[in-house]
Amino acid sequence: MPLVLEGLKRLEYRGYDSAGIATQQPFEVLRAVGKIAQLEPKIIGKHSTIVIGHTRWATHGEPSELNAHPHKSEDGSVAIVHNGIIENHADLRADLIKKGVTFKSETDSEIIAHLIAYFYKGDFEEAFRKMLSKITGAYGIVAMHKDHEELLVAKKGSPLVIGVGDKEYFIGSDASPFLDHTKDAIYLDERQMGVLTKTGYEIKDFDGFNLDVEIETIPFGIEAIQKHGFDHFMLKEIFEQPETVANAFRGKVKNIDGISLTLPSNLRRVLLLACGTSWHAALIGKYILERSSRIEAQAEHASEFRYRSPVLHNDDLVIALSQSGETADTLEALRLAKEAGATIAGIVNATGSTIAKFAGQGMYLHAGPEIGVASTKAFTSQVVALNLLNLYLNRNATYRQEIINYLKRIPEQIQFILDDAKVIENIAKEYAHASDFLFLGRDIHYPVALEGALKLKEISYIHAEGYPAAEMKHGPIALIDESMPCVFIVTEDNLAQKTLSNMQEVKSRKGKIICVCDFEHPEISNLADHVIKVPKTTWELSPLLTNIPLQLLSYYIARERGCEIDKPRNLAKSVTVE
């Protein structure tokens, strides 16, 4: 039982509002609302060799003990846990009610247990497959029956990983729950199910035919998901960036053409699909590809792209960006692009993920596990990957070598910023109780401003907005007064003077100014209340440096406010439902 509890704790970063477990011997379900700590007293002294555990994130029905997982069938014979959404739950619920079934929860998941029990005629696996034939939507399911010493699992649109140990087997939404027991794993593909017993396992398709699957070795150990002396995973991950940036380009800069992407024969444009922080990286990629390689590029919100009847061509390259490789909207948008005949690829961090497998080509970030809900090192590595994509598409050898030379210096330049984190910590203390923030940048630093605002609102719960600095006069300037901190990102380029003019407009309205810059200028010293200096690099690589102070600023403000930094309210690390 402690093993299951520890596994659930390692999944806390994914977000949850309730937790529960089910045991096969004896067959019972125990649940609690809130943190896992509320569940622990209920399972003291409990023992079982077949156990399922779950942390729930409410989608159908409010957080409550009745809505928490696992769910049992009405006759008490079946217990299930489920990630995802059953899209036809309303019709199935109505049909089961007509058949006399009484529901105890408001969830869509409870339907699964009732369906299995309804179809059960002594063959657990057959009943499970019949249930799968009735439900539609995205799901990762684990089911248990009181009369069968086995677990049945199924995957469609929501990740499931099977850990293969020494006469023991594990199931997780990702590999982190069982890393200290085994590094051998099976990443289930779409429409695959598993039968796990005490003596072995079988992987089958939904029709029951056995499949040969590969056991993969997880490329990191338990130490990768530990804090190692840092107060929070987010701070650890910020400070890991000199290493993770180097990992992102290691082995690629010696031979850019070795990236080996299959491109359309006559590349027309690049579409970058992403959500949240990954979309900000995609927007940076758009700026880089268009200016440096003169290739038409678009950064698309995957959640909007898939529903707006986009025009796609077979000479488009469509790339999905996702830290987890499981983001539901991004996966479905990529699927749409493939169906339209476009060439697809992925830029992901998680090996074995659904997007990585579906895309079939692309780049891994090699950033290691990112536990903090607010993405930091994965974002930075995505920007590195997009710079590598730019070099791959750009045929100018001199330009390539220049960027590579500067890229090699980025890890030590990030370390230079981190070594001066105390300055940013002190600034954070001064503004920790502000109610609003404005982040402003021009050109390639507009996405950096968006990302800085997102980080702050995610973990400190302060309202923050990111805007192009040139748009300040078209609305945001109405909000500026002595209580409104404004963060400017300005680098020494042909737009610097225009941004300094924006700073003057804020100053004249008594706004507070924090300036992140890579050069010294008398006007900056006169206008800014605080200056955070970053090293110089090329235009393409500059977001890799200007973003770091904004991550630190958000972290230290959230810490000063006493926020739950690694697990901010209402947020989940991996958004695997629409």
CATH placement of domain 412-564:
3.40.50.10490
Residues 139/156, Cβ–Cβ less than 8 Å: yes
Report the 10 Å Cβ neighbour count for 438: 24
Closest CA to 202 of 139, 129, 138: 129
Helix (H) or strand (E) holding 154: strand 148-156
| Spatial distance between the Cα atoms of 287 and 267, rounded to a whole number of angstroms | 18
pLDDT in tens, the chain (578 residues): 778 878 887 777 666 778 899 999 899 999 988 888 788 888 887 888 899 999 877 666 677 888 888 999 999 999 999 998 899 999 999 999 999 999 999 999 999 999 999 999 999 999 999 999 999 998 999 999 999 999 999 999 888 999 999 889 999 988 888 888 899 999 999 999 999 998 899 999 999 999 999 999 988 777 777 888 899 999 999 999 999 999 999 888 777 877 878 899 899 999 999 999 999 999 999 999 999 999 999 999 999 998 999 999 999 999 999 998 988 899 999 999 999 999 999 999 988 888 998 999 999 999 998 989 999 999 999 999 999 999 999 989 999 999 999 999 999 999 999 999 999 999 999 999 999 999 999 999 999 999 999 999 999 999 999 999 999 889 888 889 898 999 999 999 889 999 999 999 999 999 999 999 999 888 899 999 999 999 999 999 999 999 999 999 999 999 999 999 998 887 866 665 55
pLDDT of residue 575: 66
| Spatial distance between the Cα atoms of 348 and 477, rounded to a whole number of angstroms | 38
Please state which architecture CATH assigns to domain 2-223: 4-Layer Sandwich (3.60)
Closest CA to 13 of 41, 35, 42: 35
Structure-token pair, residue 134: 């009735």
| Spatial distance between the Cα atoms of 294 and 299, rounded to a whole number of angstroms | 15
Please state which architecture CATH assigns to domain 227-408: 3-Layer(aba) Sandwich (3.40)
Under DSSP, is residue 572 helix (H, G, I), strand (E, B) or coil?
coil
Residues 532/549, Cβ–Cβ less than 8 Å: yes
Sign of CA dihedral 144, 149, 151, 152: negative
Residue 476 burial (C-beta neighbours within 10 Å; 0-12, 13-18, 19+):
middle
pLDDT of residue 33: 85
Report the 10 Å Cβ neighbour count for 222: 13
Report the 10 Å Cβ neighbour count for 367: 27
Residues 4/53, Cβ–Cβ less than 8 Å: yes
pLDDT of residue 191: 93
Residue 500 burial (C-beta neighbours within 10 Å; 0-12, 13-18, 19+):
buried
CA torsion angle for 295, 299, 304, 305 (degrees, to 10)?
Answer: 30
- Amino acid present at 339: E
Report helix, strand and coil shares of the chain as percent, to nearest 5: 40, 25, 40
Residues 394/297, Cβ–Cβ less than 8 Å: no
CA torsion angle for 175, 178, 183, 185 (degrees, to 10)?
Answer: -50
Closest CA to 449 of 525, 391, 502, 527: 502
CB within 8 A of 258, min separation 6: which ones?
A: 252
Structure-token pair, residue 298: 């678009």
Residue labelled with tokens 């622990």: 40
pLDDT of residue 114: 97
Q: What is this structure's pTM?
A: 0.84
Residue 56 burial (C-beta neighbours within 10 Å; 0-12, 13-18, 19+):
buried
Q: How do the domains of the chain map onto residue ranges?
A: 2-223, 227-408, 412-564
| Spatial distance between the Cα atoms of 25 and 46, rounded to a whole number of angstroms | 10
| Spatial distance between the Cα atoms of 340 and 345, rounded to a whole number of angstroms | 14
The two domains 2-223 and 412-564 share their CATH topology (first three levels equal): no
